[in-house]
Structure 1
Amino acid sequence: MDDFETDSVSEDPLYDDPTASTADYDYSDLMCDLSPVRAFRQAYEPPLFWMIAVVGFLGNMAVVWIYLNYRRRLKTMTDVFLLNLAVADLLFLVTLPLWAAEASSSWTFGAAVCKMTSAVYKVNLFSSTLLLTCISVDRYVVIVQTTKARNLQAQRRRCARLACAVVWLTALLLATPELAFATVAPAQTAEGPVDFCRMLIPARVGRSTKTATLSLQVLMGFCLPFTVMAICYGAVVATLLKTRSFQKHKAMRVVLAVVAVFLLTQLPHNAVLVTEAAQAADATITDCQQLKAFLTAGQVLKGVAYLHACLNPFLYAFVGVRFRRDLLQLVRFRSRRRTSTISGKSTPGSARVSDSDTSQALSL
């Protein structure tokens, strides 16, 4: 198969998806008119992507603002992980307007931006899942290994920073295929020739390499993190069932909610990616109507997967009483400071959080 798809498949919106590592499937034998799927993408993605970008940017900026203004809150490993999670989401959210513009018309931002935006998505995907995995391990240590966690607080904070560095490096390495193979490619649609930013693996690389690449990304981006989370939170639940400590139950609610939302948004999309891996290995979709349904469902589930970037801050704000209180306290402090500056008076005190407040960073 050539580096570029045949005209009969050039309308396939799967090619436009930066998450599709095997985006150059050969559907030419089907001679299937995929223009309805393309039209669905044009109507569905731009408004959804803009909504996610705006809401997610405001929410994640609030998270970063709170943590950076309440530096003493970064006393636990989970605080460090959640701050990095917000940063990862922000990096992804700034690319969504570019994908919305491409879905509306064409990719007009050049090959270099194409590579960067494709890689940023994968960096966000892997860093998010690995950070949530780190949170689950930390909660296991705090709740199941309570004495050890209390005696090794300083070491755990250093481990958190080291773990974050390893997470970012791993995510960058796993995003290497996007940096290598994402490119701007021409396609012929019903409206005429357009350019798309595609993950386009050359034919000389071989189908086995394409399948292995996508399989590795699904394994590292979902399967392995999910397995670790299931083991850690299984042990945590077993421990909580044996204790009457209400504080521990409260501390778990935010983290469990964050993980649950991530699984609900990412699991269906990863099922699509597994199907794509099977399709790359051995064509499993041979019916035109099935292909249209699969591609349309893939577009919907991709949008659902992107929602995770804007949902986490609202979990903190509406589930976490401490986060909501700190946000309100910081806003009031800024307002009082502006007022005191205008009046020439200084406002005693500051919007700091005491050590007792930071001892349970995720309490409700």
Structure 2
Amino acid sequence: MTLFDDNNEDFLFTTASEHNFVYDYDEESSGLCSRTEVRQFAQYFIPPFYMIVFLSGFVGNILVVVLFAFYKRMRNMTDVYLLNLAIADLLFLCTLPFWALDVKLGWIFGNFLCKTIKGFYKINFLSCILLLTCISIDRYIAIVKAIKARASKSKILLHSKLISLIVWVTAVLLSLPDFCYSSKDEALKSCLTVYPGNILKAAGFAMQATVGFFVPFVVMVFCYSMITWKLLQAKSFQKHRAIKMIGTVVSVFVISQLPYNSIMIVQAIDAANITITDCKTLKNVDFATQITQSIAFLHSCLNPFLYAFLGVKFRQDLLKIMKDIGCVSQRQLRRVMRPQQGSCKRSSAHSETDTTGTLSL
């Protein structure tokens, strides 16, 4: 958790000579750089925001898991990735109430839970991003390399399960420092990650920015650019809708993740070279970290809608759930699903490769 790990203990900045506290002097006095307003902002902003993200994201992702468990069979790689994405989002969201309470009350859960929650936070955050990357690659293969995709359809589910396993193992390995170096600071009453050296700290920032944004961003831009080019050459009447969907997916990813990961790069450079020493600048970095990190967390709320519920099949399954719990009658269900089923029959050859699951074709 960047607000409490990365050596920003109690919002005090870390210098090269100190691993736990930074004794940066305010330009107006010879004392410590006061971060009172930063702490107050966090206490008012973070707890309600995190709880909103937790509740909204929990409902959406739980619906995806229920759909797969009771109404939908996993037919392709994207289905497998979507289920794993929903599970990763749920586990990630479950860490947010702990951080909200940490800001308000201090860390009251002990050292073991400090390490566990820190590790789970990082594992699931990285897993979400890596699974989004896998979805973009799968859609590239399904649409741009459609013939090859159909030829290897018998191995698709096996490959997707193996790739999902690799994603989880990779996320666990990259999260080991959080398990190893996190502990409860009794004096500050916070759960902190204190790296044994600024080089390792800078490497942690750089790794998160690289694996958590820049590599996935490059892969997504390439895959969706090729998909868009392929769709522009097709005669499908739904291609413009699919292209808009691609633009939305990429835009949301960039808007939610780029600001936060840019701050990660700034912090990595500063951890290695101690480039930020001005008190006002330090406070601005603290504010920027809190705000951009919160925006990045919104992606876990939006994933079910961007990657699942915009698909025709998922919407039909969701309507079936609503019918089963009494929210929709059988007559209303037939009336709503009839035009959707008609549009499915008219869809292009791309829907044969199950592109509807992600691009809502």
Q: Same fold (TM over 0.5)?
A: yes
Corresponding pairs, count: 328
1:201-350 map, 5 Å = 201-202=195-196, 206-247=197-238, 250=241, 254=245, 257-315=248-306, 319-335=310-326
Q: Note if contact 1:14-1:295 (Cα within 8 Å) is conserved in structure 2.
A: no
SS of alignment partner, residue 184 of structure 1: strand
8 Å CA contact 2:231, 2:243 repeated in 1:
no
Cα distance in 1 for partners of 2:69, 2:282 equals: 48
Check conservation: 1:254, 1:316, Cα contact below 8 A: no
| Amino acid in the other structure paired with 1:56 | G
1-structure distance, mates of 2:167, 2:291: 29
**Which range moves more in the overlay, 164-173 or 116-125?**
116-125
Deviations 1:44-64 (A, max 9, x none): 100001111111111110111
**Quick one: structure 1 residues 239 and 13, their matched pair in 2 at CA, closer, same or farther if it must change by over 3 Å?**
farther
Q: 2:177 matched to 1:186?
A: no
Structure-1 residue corresponding to 2:51: 50
**Per-residue deviation, 1:325:** 2.6
Gaps spanning 5+ residues in structure 1: where?
A: 16-22, 188-193, 340-350
Q: More deviation in 216-225 or 247-256?
A: 247-256
RMSD: 3.0
Tell me, in whole angstroms, the C-alpha distance in 2 between the residues paired with 1:298 and 1:162.
35
Describe the superposition over 1:215-273 as per-residue Cα deviations: whole angstroms up to 9, x where unpaired. Answer: 12222221211111122122212222222224555556556534432322111100111
The 5 Å alignment of 1:138-149 reads: 138-149=138-149
Preserved CA contact (<8 Å) 2:20 2:194: no
In structure 2, how many angstroms separate the alpha carbons of the residues matched to 1:131 and 1:226? 12
- Where do residues 128-207 of structure 1 align in structure 2 (5 Å cutoff)? 128-187=128-187, 194-202=188-196, 206-207=197-198
Match of 2:28 in 1: none
Amino acid at match of 1:288: C
Question: In the alignment, residue 50 of structure 2 is paired with which amino acid?
Answer: F
Contact kept in structure 2, 1:13 and 1:38, CA below 8 Å: no
Q: Secondary structure at the match of 2:233?
A: coil
TM-score norm. by structure 1 comes to 0.82
Identity %: 41
Where do 5+ consecutive residues of structure 2 fail to align?
Answer: 26-31, 331-336, 346-350
TM-score (structure 2 length as normaliser):
0.82
